[in-house]
Amino acid sequence: MYELKVAIEDNGKRVDNVATKNMVVLRPELEVSRTLIQRMMEKGEVLLNGKLVKPGYKVKADDKIEIDLDKLEKGSIAEHDGKIPRAEEVPLDIIYEDEDFLVVNKPAGMVVHPCHGHYSGTLVNALLNYPGFLTKFNEPRDTKDEQHLMRPGIVHRLDKDTSGIMLVAKTGVAHRKLSKQLKERTVTKKYMAVVRGVVELDEGLINAPLSHDKKDRIRMAIDEEEGKESLTYYRVIKRNKEKNYTVLEVR
């Protein structure tokens, strides 16, 4: 059983939401849903402080959530039609590489993880074909839990229609450390965006919780009730009143 400690920021939140949020960070390639976590809780595959609790139970800081990673993986594969990604000759634009990680320039239009309707041509398919990658991490330095990490080192997301830089771990140690840095927001991610309309404020903060769109799991949508906290800071770089658009730096 994988054990995680509830962070102070999650105090008072539903146990199923906290477990889902953490598994999305630890195992982003599995596209873990809250429904899957709830089913696992019913079977005793997700426990709180060693006990069975209901999905809506409110956790406290420092509580321990135990999750059966093997059952999580099998449940995710079943939930995604049993499709297992395969190596494919998909071009990769690699900007940097060392023994621990890759920096890949993902083009717009490429899906990161195989998911419903997109089981081919993804970044994961490309990485499985790249020399030096294994379907499982198995480094001498890796912990037992890290050796269960399936599919090559995806540690963060980037939407299908968004181009940009992606960090890809090559070892379990790198996967754990990069995931931790991203979770603690010690890594700064910046985007350039062109939006329709002329933004009046020079800068601002958008607070809009996000979750998967209920009608299209590939897309994200604002979900005030069950969405994951999402804060977006923007700064205006250029305004074009004549053509009605604004160029923003977003992070």
d(C-alpha 7, C-alpha 38), whole Å: 20
70 is a catalytic site residue? no
| Cα–Cα distance list, 249 to 17, 127, 211, 234, 239 (Å) | 30, 29, 23, 6, 12
Strand order in the sheet with 94-97: 94-97, 101-106, 164-169
Q: Mean pLDDT, to the nearest integer, of 50-73? A: 91
Confidence of residue 152 (pLDDT cuts 50, 70, 90): low
**Under 8 Å between Cβ of 90 and 106:** no
H or E stretch at 17: helix 15-26
Strands (E), 68-224: 94-97, 101-106, 164-169, 191-196, 203-207, 210-212, 220-222
In degrees and rounded to multiples of 5, residue 165 shows phi and psi of -85, 135
Q: Where in the chain is the domain with CATH 3.30.2350.10?
A: 94-183
Look at residue 110 in the predicted model and tell me its pLDDT. 92
Q: Annotate 78-97 with b (16+ C-beta within 10 A) or e (fewer).
A: ebbeeeebeeeebeeeeeee
Residue recorded with tokens 């940009």: 164
pLDDT of 47 above 90: yes
Marked catalytic residue, from 68, 100, 145, 159: 159
| Cα–Cα distance list, 131 to 86, 88, 150, 186 (Å) | 14, 12, 16, 30
Per residue in 174-229, pLDDT tens? 888 888 898 888 988 888 999 999 999 999 999 988 887 776 655 678 888 878 88
Pick the CATH number of 2-79 from 3.40.50.300, 3.40.47.10, 3.10.290.10, 3.30.450.70: 3.10.290.10
d(C-alpha 56, C-alpha 223), whole Å: 18
Per residue in 24-42, pLDDT tens? 877 776 778 888 899 999 9
**Under 8 Å between Cβ of 125 and 93:** no
**Under 8 Å between Cβ of 81 and 118:** no
Among 31-35, 106-110, 229-233, which range has the highest average pLDDT? 106-110
Class of domain 94-183: alpha beta
Helix 69-79 / helix 34-42 crossing angle, nearest 10 deg: 130
Q: Where in the chain is the domain with CATH 3.10.290.10?
A: 2-79
d(C-alpha 153, C-alpha 167), whole Å: 8
pLDDT of 82 above 60: no
pLDDT of 136 above 80: no
Residues of the chain above pLDDT 90, percent: 42
